A and B are shown apart, each in its own frame.
Chain A
Amino acid sequence: MSIKNLIICIVILAGLVALPHFLAYNFQDLLIFLAVNVLVVVSYRLVTLTGEWSLIHVVMMGVGAYASAMLSKMAGFPFWISMPIAGLTAAGIAALLCFPLFRMTQFYFLIGSFAAGEAIRLVWIYFIDPFGGSSGINNLPPPELGDIDFYEPIPYFYMTLIIVTISLFILYRIEKSRVGLTLNAVHWKAPLAESVGVDTWKYRSLALIVGSFFVGIAGALKVHYLGVVTPHQFGIGVMVFVLIWVIVGGYASFVGPIIGVVVLTVFDQGLRASGIVDPAVQPAVYGAVLIASILFMPEGLEGIGKRFFSKSSGENA
């Protein structure tokens, strides 16, 4: 990471630390979900690096959420232990799913991952003991640390910010390392990668497992703030939003999906606050944004930003 990027990161972090103090209460809530969603899209990007788009990512978030919820509610584990276990549980389930799922690629993998995800969701709904059925598990305890009140959004946001920042840093390191290079190679030409000794199955699995680990943590972060976990928080509709964020933001680079989720969330809230559009037709607006972005900016918002900067700063870019 260059000095310039480091400074940008520090400035953004400082801004994020100050930000919630200038926002109304309900926007502070939103900031927490935004931070969680950033982790969701960035971990999803790791999965897509190998070129396989899965539809199970949000369900993996649910696996983490349920694991953390059940451990803290039923076994009395503190959040600080149940959260990492949430990640490990999601990673473990992902590891098991690799065996059937990565016998397929591309379109078949997409459908297979959707089916596997729905199967997991049906397990949550069907088995009322211990998963609580449709109404899920409620009254989840918040994290405890000294006398910080994690029922308040600002302390919870700071905690989320720290965990998400560390996770993003780790994910960034993975992507920029030899592992990331190999994942990219698997994406572009799997047979060529195999011809120099890359076990493509192993690398695809690795991406899914690590991505699931971090999204599992994101799930735990989300439900311990809400205090409740239900199967409906992790439906295919939510997955579609993740896809829209990633595609509109631009999946070619690390920051693309982050830009996507931030811009669209702000856009969404602006739309809601302005009252121009009836809330009932908001999904339609989202759909229009997706279609427009595929048509007019195939590289996503990130691509537009890059073009703008390379024009304005010339050879500096």
Chain B
Amino acid sequence: MALLEVKNVTKQFGGLTALNDVSFSVEKGEIRGLIGPNGAGKSTMFKNIAGFYTPTKGEVIYDGQNIAGAHPCKVSGMGLVRTFQETTLFDEMSVFENALVGCHMTARSNLFSAIFGSDRQRQKIAAEKTMDVLEFMGLADRKDQLASELPLGSQRALAMAISLNADPKVLLMDEPFAGMNPEETNHMMDLTRKLQDKGITIVLVEHDMKAVMGLCGYLTVLCFGSLLAEGTPEEIRNNEKVIQAYLGGGS
């Protein structure tokens, strides 16, 4: 059974239908690309899955449960973690603190343990785990810098470190390659593959075709809020409808 299943999702904003009866499913362990021209409804779909929007109609089944309309913090607690477009970090906090917030689900403490320090052991484990994640993302030597002082590439890596520290089973990545130079893109692609090797299922919303074609095993194409096509990168590249949608061919 699919790990993440979007069933007949419709999302309307007033009279505007941003998503119209879209269904697709993502298998465990794959890297799925969600692509489409501007205004196709990719980000809307993304927010519906991550709990930031409630679908007008339809269901989002994750791990056998309908999570449509659940609060983002509940969704992420179940292991479905999203990243943000551009750089979204806790700006005035250090790199280490940024990543440390990520393991909220396993390391959060209540007032009692905060005052009396009774969960010191748990906090130590959280700190070690955070260092491992920073190491993995190549940020360990910058751990005391402020997040806002990092170069763009490192900021993106830190954003991934935060989500990674939340132990995601599915990682929803919103345009992780936007604004990156080719070198940074390659680095990010390597990291994404390493995440897949760790057993994390990845759903990618992306405009960078080189990255999408290189990474994803299977693509879902949206256009004007509807499902246009699905297939391997090879099939999508040769799909008439997709080519027309992107190039606006004469139909």
Contact = CB atoms under 8 A, between A and B. Distances in A.
Q: Do A and B bind each other?
A: yes
A252 B50 CA distance: 33
A182 B108 CA distance: 8
Given A173-B117, A181-B97, A206-B111, A198 B104 contact: yes
Given A182-B108, A185-B90, A194 B76 contact: yes
Interface string A173-191: 1100111111011001101
Contact of A196 (B52, B102, B116, B123): B102
Contacts of B3: none
Contacts of B102: 196
A178 B114 contact: yes
Given A178-B107, A182-B104, A185-B93, A195 B76 contact: yes
B123 A178 contact: yes
Given A188-B91, A191-B88, A170 B105 contact: no
Contacts of A197: 73, 76-77, 104-105, 166
B8 interface: no
Contact of A188 (B93, B109, B113, B115): B93
Contact of B111 (A179, A191, A194): A179
Contacts of B81: 195-196
B97 A194 contact: no
A200 B52 CA distance: 13
B88 A192 contact: yes
A82 B201 CA distance: 56
A95 to B, nearest CB: 13
A192 B77 contact: no
B90 A191 contact: no
A173 B88 contact: no
A174 B111 contact: yes
Contact of B92 (A188, A192, A195, A198): A188
A198 B84 contact: no
Interface in A198-228: 198-200, 206, 210
A93 interface: no
A236 interface: no
B140 interface: no
A193 interface: yes
B106 to A, nearest CB: 9
Given A185-B93, A185-B101, A192 B111 contact: no
A206 B163 CA distance: 24
B119 to A, nearest CB: 8
B39 to A, nearest CB: 22
Contacts of A177: 109, 113-115, 117
B42 interface: no
Contact of B114 (A179, A188, A191, A192): A179
B85 to A, nearest CB: 11
A178 B108 contact: yes
B82 interface: yes
A39 B100 CA distance: 30
Contact of B104 (A170, A174, A196, A210): A196
B84 A191 contact: yes
Interface in B104-133: 104-105, 107-111, 113-117, 119, 123, 126
A306 to B, nearest CB: 15
B191 interface: no
A206 B114 CA distance: 13
30 contacts: A173-B115, A174-B111, A177-B114, A177-B115, A177-B117, A178-B107, A178-B126, A179-B110, A179-B111, A179-B114, A180-B114, A182-B104, A184-B90, A188-B90, A188-B93, A189-B91, A192-B84, A192-B88, A192-B89, A194-B71, A195-B81, A195-B82, A195-B84, A196-B104, A196-B105, A196-B166, A197-B104, A197-B105, A197-B166, A200-B73
Interface of B: 50, 52, 71-73, 76-77, 81-84, 88-93, 97, 100-105, 107-111, 113-117, 119, 123, 126, 162-163, 165-166
Interface of A: 170, 173-174, 177-182, 184-185, 188-189, 191-200, 206, 210
Please list the 3 inter-chain residue pairs (A to B) with the smallest Cβ-Cβ separation, ordered nearest first. A177-B114, A188-B90, A196-B166
